[in-house]
Amino acid sequence: MTQAPADAATPVVSAFYDRFPYPGDPLQDGPPPGYNWRWSVDAATAACTGALPPPRPAGEPLRILDAGCGTGVSTDYLAHLNPGAEILAVDISPGTLEVARERLRRSGGHQQAQVRIENRSLLELQGEGPFDYINSVGVLHHLREPEAGLRALAALLKPGALLHLFLYADGGRWEIHRTQRALTALAVGTGEPGLRLGRQLLAELPEHNRLRRHHEQRWALDCAADANFADMYLHPQETSYNLERLMAFVASADLEFAGFSNPQVWDPARLLQGELLERAQALPPLQRWQLVEDLDPDISHFEFFLAKPPLRQQTWEADSVLLAAAGARNRCLWGWPGQALLDSDMAPLDLSSQGLELMQALEQAPAGAALGTLPLGWPAAQIAVVARELLAQRVLLLQPGPGAGA
């Protein structure tokens, strides 16, 4: 007797991605371009908690799950940004996994981490956990029952560990949803004819048509690859959210919201100023985010971290705690060693001369050396000031010293 699929949409979604392996990023020899700090466990944990993950027992590798890895773009970054980790990458589409294996082979990812790439559903990974970090980008919204997928991933997390998710947002997909419904009504299908006719539709609508303008102005470049166009307009199974439903979704798995992984999008300062901004900043976080959601109808997705409680926060307000901490350089920087860098978000960043000096001293010190012991010849208060500057720039990541409290 054939066992029913774990999710009702699995067979049709698997066949869809076999036709259109996604994402359609080209293969290349050598490491992936740049970095994405959300796939560096150290950087992600520091962003959510203020500190590096707790030290691991000697010889125990970091365990990462890439749940719905597609063509391996995320897996490749996870391998290169977390050297020595043990990574399990799964997907329901054999076709996409062929591309993922070739991507990791050509990039040298297997030399950076222990990577297993397997044709499995994220709903059927019992016994594989617990994991220190789970990445699942653009996956759960393609399940018939996304809540079941979230609960399955939550069960695989270690206490205090992070889950990184990407889910579609209603507002910024207004035009996309209408285009999808139009193509469904025209019965173009989800194969090559649908791809051809979908491109034809957006090319032949009147130039002033909102759907055509929106596609040409916002999505045409992203959809240059056929797989990306198909994923956006032809996908057979999709769910999207607003903030209210998103938070109910999170609560359904007893997980803790640990922050957006694109926090600048949710900062009202990019939309408001003066008294209006002051009023917005005085709102509780959820109401402030809902205000941004209402003011910016172009937000097309949510990307965020969840944690399995307890998630411990670390502050560095006390100089004694800060100076007892061990430091590390954020792996997601471009231009190091040097004073002119690109920061975690690929934005220009100029280190102060003292900031550069502290980071150079840290790199030359024995592993685990406390900041206060660095041979800088500075007063302790000066080390603390410069360290906080580097923390704010996300250049310096800190591990609390023994016995440090939050």
pLDDT tens digits, one per residue of 109-132: 999 999 999 999 999 999 998 999
DSSP string of 180-218, one letter each residue? HHHHHHTT--SSHHHHHHHHHHHHHS-TT-HHHHHIIII
Give the distance, in angstroms, between the CA of residue 359 and the centroid of all CA atoms in the same chain. Answer: 26
Does residue 6 register a pLDDT over 90?
no
**CA 64 to each of CA 67, 130, 157, 216: distance values in angstroms, whole numbers, following the listed order:** 9, 9, 10, 37
Sole residue written with tokens 């193509």: 183
Six token digits for residue 351? 């280190």
Q: What pTM value is reported for the model?
A: 0.95
Q: What sign results for the dihedral spanned by CA atoms 13, 27, 153, 48?
A: negative
Would you kindly state where each structural domain of the chain is located, as residue ranges?
10-170+240-307, 171-233, 319-399
405: pLDDT confidence band, cut at 50, 70 and 90? low
Mean pLDDT of 30-39: 95
d(CA 403, CA 318): 14
Short-list 104, 28, 111, CA closest to 69 = 104
**Number of neighbouring beta carbons within 10 Å of residue 171:** 16
Residue 95: the pLDDT is: 95
Percent of the chain with pLDDT over 70: 98
Cis bond upstream, residue 159 (ω within 30): no
Report whether 44 contacts 261 (CB < 8 A).
Answer: yes
Mean pLDDT of 251-269: 97
58: pLDDT confidence band, cut at 50, 70 and 90? confident
Does residue 2 register a pLDDT over 70?
no
pLDDT tens digits, one per residue of 310-363: 999 999 999 999 999 999 999 999 999 999 999 999 999 999 999 999 999 999
- Of the options 3.30.9.80, 3.90.25.10, 3.40.50.150, 1.10.3720.10, the CATH number for the domain spanning 10-170+240-307: 3.40.50.150
Short-list 124, 125, 135, 11, CA closest to 70 = 135
Q: 326-337 burial, b if ≥16 CB within 10 A, otherwise e?
A: bbbbbbbbeebe
Provide CB contacts within 8 A for 352, sequence distance 6+: 386, 389
Residue 1: the pLDDT is: 34
Does residue 406 register a pLDDT over 90?
no
pLDDT tens digits, one per residue of 224-247: 999 999 999 999 999 999 999 999
